[in-house]
Every structure is written in structure tokens, then in C-alpha cells.
Amino acid sequence: MSTTTLTTENGTPEHEDSESWAAEVRRLARERDAVILAHNYQRPEIQDIADHVGDSLALSRLAAQVEASTIVFCGVHFMAETAKILAPEKTVLLPEPAAGCSLADTITAEDVRAWKAEHPGAVVVAYVNTTAAVKAETDVCCTSSNAADVIRSIPEDKEILFLPDQFLGAHVRRVTGRDNIRVWMGECHVHAGIDGATLRERVAEEPDAELYVHPECGCATSALYLVGAGTVPQERVRVLSTGGMVTAAKETRADKVLVATETGMLHQLRAANPGTVFEPVNGRAECRYMKMITAGKLLTALRDGVTEITVPPEIADHARRSVEAMVAIGSPSRGGE
């Protein structure tokens, strides 16, 4: 019997025999002609059973390319919506429809319309962590792995409205050197909680460790300040998407890496490089929405075909233009740097 522990949302064991669970998931997926996509923040057992694990951009690209007629999206609601927008002919299932996103909740389509009215002619760039209705109001999407490339694709003299993440917005301003970017002041409760004070404490405890920082983190500016102040050498600090972190983990020769993002990420990093120790900057940084997808819910999703995610065609058509503009630009190998 496998040693993987399958847990419910509150952490109690869910299935005694993880091998029979895995076999049943695989059988049902074949029967339903389904592919299982999982984000890097999913529970370890969900990552291990998935056909593909990745960051938002990689999963969006896969949703558009896979041949299966059904996509079971183990992630949060906006990700399943994005898959549906890019693959309208496919059935997209989200094992827990209440798996939302505190960042996506910081802006509505009406907010975007009002903001655009204040800045006519501006190009609206939306992080993919937004609802389909918000995406439909924007010109181009981005993820943490291609945000800077998306900004660079817009003529220098064009004003940009960047939404909804203030920390990613500050990061793209910094790396592109542009000052005509207005940023919506939203944040993700998980990443905002990984703040500068926590990072400085961890760096003082582990002065020789490398640092991987997701650009949504409250500590992204502090990390670069530590470089500027000479506390940490520049080559030891990387600002990366979750997919960029896996690529960096495969290449690093460091003994230890401190990771500033949601703790689900550690599963992929440890698998990518067993010779390096990966530790969280903040071990309490857990996204409760991502963790709503449990072994039992994945099984039910496959068995009963629930919950199907749909996007009204008019919204989907507008949102698709914005998402496809992003998919055409992004270069996943560059990570968030």
C-alpha cells in the first residue's frame, strides 16, 4: 500500500488505501476521457495523481492543447474559467466550485469599467487571477511568469492600467522601468501575509540560503532591498512564478532555498531536487481555496461529472481575446524575472 496520506479539508484521513483511490481516479478519468490538470499549490496527493502540474500560464496553454474531451481542473475557480474560455468545446470540471480566490475578489467588471472611464485610451492589463467578467473588460492578460513580457509588448507612450495585484504591479514597474503604469491596490491574503519582517527574520536565521520569491508576495520589495543593502548577494535572490521556481530548483546547487509563496509549492520543489533543502519563508502561508480540492472531491468530480464550469458566450468571447493575446506573448522559461 502507498504511504501517501489522503486528507479531508480539515486534515483528517479520508481514504485508508491510497492505491485503490489512485486506481479508481485513473479508471474514471479514462472512462470519462478526462485529463487532470493541477496547480502547484494543490495538495500533494492531487499533484501526484494529475496528468500535468504547473503554474497558471502552463495550465492555460495545456487547456487549449490537450486532446481529452473533459478537463478536470484541480485549482481555483478563475483557473477553471480560463480553461473553459480557451477550450469552449470541452467540458471543464472543478471538483469544488467554492474554491475562489481572495485576489480575484478585489475587483469587479463594474470597477474596471469605471477605472477605464477615468483613463480613456489606457491599455488594460489583467493578471489571470480575475473573473471571466473582469477579463472581458481588459485588453491583455498576464500571469506571474509573463507579466513583464506583456508590459514590454505595449508601446512605451501608452498609459497602462494594471490589475488587480499591487505587489505584482510594483514588480513589473520595477523590472520594466516604466512609470506610466497605474496599479489596482488588490492583494492575495496568502501572499500579502509573507511580509518583509518575516522574510528578514528568516534571512537572518539562514544567511547562506537562496531565496525564491513569488511576485505577489508582500516581501518582494524587501527581498530586493536586502540585495540593495548587500545583506543577500543578488545572484541568490530570484523573483519567480511557481513554474519558474520548479525550473530554478532543478538547476540550483544551493544547500538550502527559502521559498516565499504558498506552501503547496514545496512538494514540486522537493521532487525536482532532492539534494537541496527547500523551506517556506512562512509555513502558515496556505491557500484554503486551493486546499478545498481533496482526494474525495476529485473522485466525486470524475464519477458524477461535477461541477461543470460554464462562461456565458458573450463574456467568453471578449475574455478570450485578452487571454489569447497573453498566450501568444508569454515565454514560460523566463519565469517572473
Per CB under 6 A, contacts with ligand SF4 among 221-280 are 262
Distance CA 146, CA 211 (A): 20
List the interface residues with ligand SF4, window 97-136 (CB under 6 A). Answer: 101-103, 129
Binding mask 194-233 for ligand 13P (x = CB under 6 A): ----------------------x-----------------
Among the residue ranges 83-91, 272-280, 284-292, 304-312, the one whose residues contact ligand SF4 (CB under 6 A): 284-292
Question: CB-hemisphere CA count at 13 Å for 171?
Answer: 33
Task: Tell whether residue 190 is a contact of ligand SF4 (CB under 6 A).
Answer: yes
**Residues, the chain:** 337
Least separation in angstroms between residue 56's CB and ligand 13P is 3
Beta-ladder partners of 127: 142
Of the two residues 56 and 106, which places its CB atom closer to ligand 13P in the complex?
A: 56
Nearer to ligand 13P, 232 or 246 (CB): 246
In whole angstroms, give the CA distance from residue 150 to residue 325: 9
Distant-in-sequence, close-in-space partners of 267: CB < 8 Å, separation ≥ 6: 40, 44, 47
The binder of ligand 13P chosen from 70, 82, 91, 143 (CB under 6 A): 143
Sequence-ordered alpha helix ranges (H) in the chain: 18-32, 44-49, 56-65, 77-86, 109-118, 132-135, 147-152, 166-176, 189-192, 196-205, 220-228, 242-251, 265-272, 295-304, 313-329
- Written as nine digits, the cell of 193 is 501575509
144 lies in the site for ligand 13P, by CB under 6 A: yes
Given 50, 269, 290, 295, the residue binding ligand SF4 (CB under 6 A) = 290
Q: In angstroms, how far is the first alpha carbon of the chain from the final one?
A: 42
Name the phi and psi angles at 83, rounded to 5: -60, -45
Q: From the list ligand 13P, ligand SF4, none, pick the one residue 289 interacts with, judged by a Cβ distance below 5 to 8 Å according to partner type.
A: ligand SF4
Number of residues in contact with ligand SF4 under rule CB under 6 A: 12
DSSP state of 231: S
Among 82, 106, 129, 146, binds ligand 13P (CB under 6 A): 129
Q: Which of 29, 104 has the CB closer to ligand 13P?
A: 104
241 near ligand 13P, rule: CB under 6 A: yes
Positions in the binding site for ligand SF4 (CB under 6 A): 76, 101-103, 129, 188, 190-191, 262, 287, 289-290
